[in-house]
Structure 1
């Protein structure tokens, strides 16, 4: 409570400070060593009067905290100064009293400058010949901190911190002005939040935690007195870091503060004596910062979040500015990471592969339609401890799940067939498009093969040989269907489809291959078989785009974010999405992707051809809702993948050696099983959603009759087939036939059958040798394979137009 005589005295001080004595008394009181020879009464008065009366209060650095999506589970902290502002009402009353007793026992009596304190300091300093008492009020100390934090260059910082009379004059001038703008409680609150209390405790909230592991509202009298004592000299009195004298200086300082509190009648002598007993009761809690020191269960997500933040122009012009903003901005960041889904994914990983394995296996989950990343799990530990024996595991901070130029990802195998299929669907090539899948296919692409210089991949199993549709070939993962399909649409178009869905090519060899494929139709034929290196985040995002009906959403680690005042900043956390492929194309691609996992096509297309089998049928048996996906393995099993999705969640799992890409993985089933079971658990609390059936146009296209070209020359047969609307390929292998050498022995599909307009018809020439009698091969095309496919379709979809008329027509 302010007393009348003190208010009067304070008003007199304000007048005196504007007068002739101000500079002389202040300088002599605070800086006797400097003297007053260079500071005349008039110059002091003039400089004081010339100072501006208003001071701009800058925001002080505060810690930004990253939480999981529940807003409670802390993932990591980011800061330059470990500070978190609190309201005065959230500070224990004894703490407020202790700081006043320690630093300014007349705080509630003066108006920014304490005249009595100045005179007392003047007398003591002059008698001692040195500064033993500074006479700064709590308000002046706050002003000094404001000027320091508000400095924008080295000169302003020097003026704010130098030991000169000029600095004292500025502080007093601003202190008087500040007390007219802010209440005492506002000043005290700001002082407690800005002051450094040692041991990385910037502000009372952090100080309370770094010394006693509790919020400031719970501080006891003894604890408050000790912390208040830190303000004068946070190095000398620091009980945690004082190597020379230990806790003795802090204990002595605590006793001084308690005695001051008794004098001010804040506490009784008995209360003070009780608080002096015993040790300091320290219970320090480390306030670790950044991802490698945060919650290890979420380390790889945190590392990706930090890289995402530093790459986002919303937070500054440069990566340095953006990181500085994070470390000073005091943001409350609620991330997209779902604790339940993360736990499910990590559990499946841990059950299948040890952290000390040289192989890495991991799962990334993404929400379609928002791009929010729900989980990032891997059998590695995020951190910087040194690994034994020059190993790169289990500890690492490499972005093994999100990718970078240093860690570009892993070859994704047949999961890339999705991109060729999307490119085909964009060109209106339907799911029923038929191609005869050979055991080995000699392509137009460069690459070399035992039979010549052209790239000639084969299938994983002979059972895949035969007439395949896009849906059945995807279900069985028939390489020799997708290579000719890639020839039909071009590698350039397939690469474009991958990028539109969310794939980023980081490896230098892939960047070169992509560039070559833009102009060379014979380049990068292996693209559709997944020889590019990509991250699990890329693949989860790409398949999430399919699940979201062609709407690509940039991967997002945030649910919401608020500034240090608690104001929401939705513009920083809203998804960034755009329609990159038509909805109908995505619907058709999703229907096709039901085939590998055991679901059935929504429009009755067969998911396998006669004799074939699905690559991940167990997924559909375990996940009791509409689901889709694709497996992927590379040559020699150097990597294994599974990407699965529903309309509301996508997950990508992989297995590879990040340090040795040619190392064969121990079990290609691991990504299928781990991703399937993690996805099944994650989906349990999500609503069941249905896929959208593809349009008839993209499911079946236009069915026309394949012309019979048996016995024709290549030119004549090619002309007839193209006039009927088919793409034409010439088989490099000739067959025995009663037809003359070099003439058409047959076509695949056969002449007279019906097939999709725009699909590929392969011409097979005769070698002139009569055929040897042999038993029928059920994997070879029958008499009318097109009719067989038509009959399969019409058996489940009799209402389709193609089922109401004879084969053929437009």
Structure 2
């Protein structure tokens, strides 16, 4: 009689195992059906001994957890398999007993393979005419899982999971070898950590939370018996989602495990009976993962972290590989995010604008000298929920705070004057450099002018800014018509370079085109200094943090520490990446200048406003009782509003704009100032008070020399005179009416006879040959001399009041 194929295979497998391990040679004669296999106990034994005795134990996928900087507050989890390994000591003893009772009664007696169990299973299967009982020990089951997780291709995976005698032989050979390398407790611990218990419960730690919302150390007898019963068939015994049979299969299986525990004398019959009477007591807990399902208070930080990880070559060759490593690596990541600072920033945002507004307002905080991002708050909700009425808010996963090619940021307004100032300071133009700020300035740059013509011609926000300004006073008042001619002196190319060295990244296609044009065309992108480029709050906080750190740029970093699944600290991955991109003395001078807008005073006595002018954010200095600096920024028609503030140990950028409609005027330009000021004040409470470093005399005042009077000279002659006196020369693109003949020098800026900084630019204005219309004379060189005389009469020891020969270096 020919046995069915599956029964024949079962007989073959059983006989081979028996012949090898128990010496049951008689079985070959007792069950002649195996003769068709061509296998004998001898040949099977030879094959068995030829198998390798060592098995490489691969790391199994584990959950990566992202924490706040306190190491306790969980932000999000990332995983393919919800697993976190635990020590056997952290598993309740009753759970250890239950899994042995359920899967391998003789676990502590055999040496990896249970010969008696094989014979028993063989006889039982023969009597039933089918495979109804297996004989795999707990060690063999662990080996099977090792081979599956260690498979590097489809063929290895097939060999690890196929139902063949060959697979059984490999498992047995490795199990015997493994028992020589590991203790029983080590094998049991590994088995509990690798086994799938259903419902995203990979390993005992996850299973304990998935079903009972508690750690495995706290499992009770009925809970442990139920979980142990799941190991054999997580689908059939599923107590949470079993539409066909409900909880009955899980209850029946639990009863079986309890009975086995009684047989092994792990528990008494009375204890088993009491456990059987209890309900399953399920307290299922879902296992959400990734940023959109994590702690919503930190969603935008989490989203930026994930993008940072996937962009970092240290974590893999491709973005896909890096994300795969994150989801399988079992890392414990302590992030840079400070819970206290985040709460302070979010509270100030929420008080001023709710999530239902079409406008977005947010704050990013960065630590100077490390680049660690301490807070990312915004009036949006990070998530993929459907928004009402087809709107793009309040739910979104767009990187509104960190920027991307699809969300490049917002026009930053006058905060960009900082980069023109840095470029000027790098050229040796000092903070005291004077330029007469007109009501409206017609520049050399091509662009539309509201008064007509094709030359870019911005005006100031207030007529009070008109007059002779220093770099510091113009920054304090935000005088546009000072920084346009200053930009002409240093070039847009140099200002763009300064921004990039500080940490600004240009992402918008129009900005990238303008940047390319400015590399070779001196008339391109004149609006750069007034902040028409789109940038992210993270960029601006990072850039001003570079200044706060005395010119040391640190790449934005979301990590405080990171450890692998074995607890090894990977310090090289969490170490700040910093480099000196701006000279320290230049950054010091820029920081001194930036004290002017917020109500602080220059450390070297330079006035922060010109007569009649006012600071743009004086409230910041009144509230924050320590050295502080910063800059406000608004755009034409108030399409965006900004404030970027900093101390030596904290930088913060706040903004207000409509992310979907850049030409939408914001409701209140004061919001970024107020929110950022208050958030910084709270965040700084537990940080030490640190002082800025005073600028050098050379970058504060330079060397003062007299500008030659060139009125009426030819352009060539005037140029030679000015260069001989130590100035650089620029020719104004606009000619003016004058008493002198056409083509001759009508005037210079600064004017002839006034003092200016050696090495700075003097602009020659040429006559158009027409007589000037009668008008009230504007203050020029004489007014400048009067301002300087007034300062020097009160402060005769200031460097700017010394002659060239006595001027300190």
- TM-score (normalizing by structure 1): 0.94
Distance 2:329 2:171 in 1: 26
Say whether the 8 Å CA contact 2:589–2:694 is kept in structure 1. yes
After TM superposition, give the deviation of residue 760 of structure 1 in Å.
Answer: 3.2
Say whether the 8 Å CA contact 2:506–2:512 is kept in structure 1. yes
Q: Deviations over 1:736-757 (max 9, x none)?
A: 7665666555443332221111
After TM superposition, give the deviation of residue 768 of structure 1 in Å.
Answer: 7.0
Residues 1:716 and 1:33: Cα distance change in structure 2 (over 3 Å): farther
Say whether the 8 Å CA contact 2:557–2:576 is kept in structure 1. yes
After TM superposition, give the deviation of residue 515 of structure 1 in Å.
Answer: 1.1
What are structure 1's unaligned runs of at least 5 residues? none
Residues 1:104 and 1:308: Cα distance change in structure 2 (over 3 Å): same
After TM superposition, give the deviation of residue 24 of structure 1 in Å.
Answer: 8.9
Q: Residue 788 in 1 paired to residue 782 in 2?
A: no
After TM superposition, give the deviation of residue 286 of structure 1 in Å.
Answer: 1.1
Say whether the 8 Å CA contact 1:445–1:455 is kept in structure 2. yes
After TM superposition, give the deviation of residue 394 of structure 1 in Å.
Answer: 0.3
Distance 1:621 1:733 in 2: 43
Residues 1:28 and 1:373: Cα distance change in structure 2 (over 3 Å): farther
Q: Deviations over 1:107-135 (max 9, x none)?
A: 11111111111111000101111110011
Say whether the 8 Å CA contact 2:448–2:455 is kept in structure 1. yes
Is 756-765 or 219-228 further displaced after alignment?
756-765
After TM superposition, give the deviation of residue 722 of structure 1 in Å.
Answer: 2.7
Q: Deviations over 1:531-560 (max 9, x none)?
A: 111100000000000000000000000000
Say whether the 8 Å CA contact 2:410–2:640 is kept in structure 1. yes
Say whether the 8 Å CA contact 2:77–2:289 is kept in structure 1. yes
Say whether the 8 Å CA contact 1:18–1:45 is kept in structure 2. no
Q: Deviations over 1:557-608 (max 9, x none)?
A: 0000111011111011000000001100100110111111111111111111
After TM superposition, give the deviation of residue 725 of structure 1 in Å.
Answer: 2.1
After TM superposition, give the deviation of residue 183 of structure 1 in Å.
Answer: 0.5
Residues 1:801 and 1:414: Cα distance change in structure 2 (over 3 Å): closer
Distance 1:15 1:78 in 2: 46
Residues 1:34 and 1:580: Cα distance change in structure 2 (over 3 Å): farther
Say whether the 8 Å CA contact 2:643–2:655 is kept in structure 1. yes
Distance 1:5 1:668 in 2: 81
Is 790-799 or 722-731 further displaced after alignment?
790-799
Say whether the 8 Å CA contact 1:24–1:44 is kept in structure 2. no
Q: Deviations over 1:52-90 (max 9, x none)?
A: 111111111000000000000000000000000000000
Q: Deviations over 1:496-530 (max 9, x none)?
A: 11111111111111111111111111111111111
Residues 1:215 and 1:481: Cα distance change in structure 2 (over 3 Å): same
Distance 1:362 1:615 in 2: 20
Residues 1:529 and 1:30: Cα distance change in structure 2 (over 3 Å): farther
Distance 1:31 1:338 in 2: 72
Residues 1:226 and 1:770: Cα distance change in structure 2 (over 3 Å): same
Say whether the 8 Å CA contact 1:29–1:123 is kept in structure 2. no
Residue number in structure 2 paired with 1:727: 728
Say whether the 8 Å CA contact 1:366–1:650 is kept in structure 2. yes
Any idea what SS the aligned residue of 1:334 has?
strand
Any idea what SS the aligned residue of 1:252 has?
helix
Distance 2:450 2:387 in 1: 44
After TM superposition, give the deviation of residue 21 of structure 1 in Å.
Answer: 7.3
Say whether the 8 Å CA contact 1:70–1:338 is kept in structure 2. yes
Say whether the 8 Å CA contact 1:7–1:110 is kept in structure 2. no
Distance 1:2 1:564 in 2: 53
Say whether the 8 Å CA contact 1:718–1:728 is kept in structure 2. yes
After TM superposition, give the deviation of residue 611 of structure 1 in Å.
Answer: 1.4
Residues 1:765 and 1:77: Cα distance change in structure 2 (over 3 Å): same
Say whether the 8 Å CA contact 1:239–1:250 is kept in structure 2. yes
Residues 1:715 and 1:20: Cα distance change in structure 2 (over 3 Å): closer
After TM superposition, give the deviation of residue 775 of structure 1 in Å.
Answer: 6.3
Say whether the 8 Å CA contact 1:359–1:656 is kept in structure 2. yes
Q: Deviations over 1:687-734 (max 9, x none)?
A: 000000011111111100111234444443333223222234455666
Say whether the 8 Å CA contact 1:344–1:678 is kept in structure 2. yes
Distance 2:710 2:39 in 1: 111
Distance 2:413 2:27 in 1: 78
Q: Deviations over 1:777-799 (max 9, x none)?
A: xxx42562443443355456533
Residue number in structure 2 paired with 1:689: 690
Say whether the 8 Å CA contact 1:437–1:464 is kept in structure 2. yes
Is 679-688 or 742-751 further displaced after alignment?
742-751
After TM superposition, give the deviation of residue 383 of structure 1 in Å.
Answer: 0.4
Say whether the 8 Å CA contact 1:63–1:79 is kept in structure 2. yes
Residues 1:33 and 1:192: Cα distance change in structure 2 (over 3 Å): farther
Any idea what SS the aligned residue of 1:20 has?
helix
Residue number in structure 1 paired with 2:200: 200
Residues 1:243 and 1:469: Cα distance change in structure 2 (over 3 Å): same
Distance 1:552 1:27 in 2: 78
Q: Residue 617 in 1 paired to residue 615 in 2?
A: no
Q: Deviations over 1:601-635 (max 9, x none)?
A: 11111111111111111111111110011111111
After TM superposition, give the deviation of residue 384 of structure 1 in Å.
Answer: 0.4
Q: Deviations over 1:197-242 (max 9, x none)?
A: 0010000000000000000000011110110000000111111121
Is 274-283 or 338-347 further displaced after alignment?
274-283
Q: Deviations over 1:147-188 (max 9, x none)?
A: 101111111111110111111111111111111111100000
Say whether the 8 Å CA contact 1:435–1:759 is kept in structure 2. no
Residues 1:713 and 1:436: Cα distance change in structure 2 (over 3 Å): same
Distance 1:30 1:11 in 2: 11
After TM superposition, give the deviation of residue 401 of structure 1 in Å.
Answer: 0.4
Residues 1:550 and 1:9: Cα distance change in structure 2 (over 3 Å): same
After TM superposition, give the deviation of residue 396 of structure 1 in Å.
Answer: 0.4
Residues 1:446 and 1:5: Cα distance change in structure 2 (over 3 Å): closer
Say whether the 8 Å CA contact 1:121–1:135 is kept in structure 2. yes
Is 344-353 or 457-466 further displaced after alignment?
457-466
Q: Deviations over 1:79-110 (max 9, x none)?
A: 00000000000000000000001101111111
Distance 1:123 1:618 in 2: 89
Distance 2:434 2:26 in 1: 95
Residues 1:7 and 1:705: Cα distance change in structure 2 (over 3 Å): farther
Residues 1:274 and 1:442: Cα distance change in structure 2 (over 3 Å): same
Is 273-282 or 28-37 further displaced after alignment?
28-37
After TM superposition, give the deviation of residue 670 of structure 1 in Å.
Answer: 0.7
